[in-house]
Amino acid sequence: MAMGLISLPVMLKYRYDKGLACGTICASGTLGQIIPPSIVLILLGDVLGVPVGDLFQAALWPGLMLVAAYIIYILIYAKLNPQAAMPIEPDADLSRRQEVVKALKAVIPPLALIVVVLGSIFAGVATPTESAALGGAGAILLALAYGQFSWSMVYDASKETVKVTAMVFAILLGATAFSMAFTYTGGDELVEEWMMNLPGDKWGFLIVTMLVILILGFFIDFVEICFIIVPILAPVAVLMDVDMTWFAILIAMNLQTSFLTPPFGFSLFYLKGVAPKSVTTMDIYRGVVPFILIQILVLISLMVFPSFYGM
């Protein structure tokens, strides 16, 4: 939403292609689902029994590769369609050096905070919970440094945190009840037998799993998929000797795609809610299609060449 409020009007002002502008904002907004710290990875770590720190480390390289793929696509599109992404004229009041200094001042502090939070996890200095507290304290210090701190901001952030936590636990309670009933009626054994008999052994299971999650992502929230669908599939993955860290990253990458897929992609709704009236729903849909295809291609490469991503 913030990117839609800040970046979209600027891009439209300079006559950027609406589809490219909307697709770029929607796709970049979903990167937080795969690049740590990510709530999707935290939920998957809990469901699959994989340390969250391991997932954060494993997801970093695939996330950066996805960013690189986005950048390459945008550069190629702009090269082939110069009128769709005209370069913005530099500020005449600032020299090149002043522009660089201004950009560094805007980028380095939040980047340093991210490095401290993730670095504390990767180095084993802090647990994910402790690093979250460290990140919260660091964010408050940055707000104070920028002169933008207010208690209303702290209240709003705390309120949103409580709402998300309450939603997750409410779904967890329902998912636990469903799982107990599903197991009691023998559903888990039925799914296990069906999955184990798929052609292609492990690869057949992985392909079907990714297709099922991709299709469900069109209509179901990622939290429900994490708590209802993944626990059904996880035992089969263990029986087939699938590396659970790799399995979790594949699912996370797949779930990230669900934020872009119509008709219920969260990013699409968020952007439409803050976009100018001149931007139609079809402009947004048209813009995200190439990025969905890019995500699927990166997902396939992660499946076929896990060693390239350090898995």
Domains in the chain: boundaries:
2-87+186-309, 91-149
In angstroms, the CA 233 to CA 64 distance is 27
Helix (H, G, I), strand (E, B) or coil at 26: helix
Tokens of 86: 């005209």
Rounded CA-CA distance 6/11 in Å is 9
For 68-92, give one letter per residue: b (16+ CB within 10 A) or e.
ebbeebbeebbeeeeeebeeeeeee
CA proximity to 78, closest of 157, 149, 166, 17: 17
Query: What percent of the chain clears pLDDT 90, i.e. is strictly above it?
Result: 26
Peptide bond into 290 cis (omega under 30): no
The DSSP secondary structure of 89-118, one letter per residue, reads: PPPTTS-HHHHHHHHHHHHHHHHHHHHHHH
CB 41 within 8 A of CB 56: yes
In the predicted model, is pLDDT for residue 274 greater than 90? no
pLDDT of residue 90: 63
Q: What is the dihedral of CA 248, 250, 255, 256, to 10 degrees?
A: 110
Per-residue pLDDT for 162 more than 80?
yes
Spatial contact of 145 and 108, defined as CB atoms under 8 Å apart: no
Render pLDDT for 52-94 as a digit per residue (tens, 0 to 9): 889 999 999 999 999 999 999 999 998 898 888 777 666 656 6
Percent of the residues in the chain that have a pLDDT greater than 70, as a whole number: 96
How many Cα atoms occupy the beta-carbon half-sphere of 301 within 13 Å? 15
User: Whole-angstrom distance between the N-terminal and C-terminal Cα of the chain?
Assistant: 33
Task: Give the predicted TM-score (pTM) of the model.
Answer: 0.82
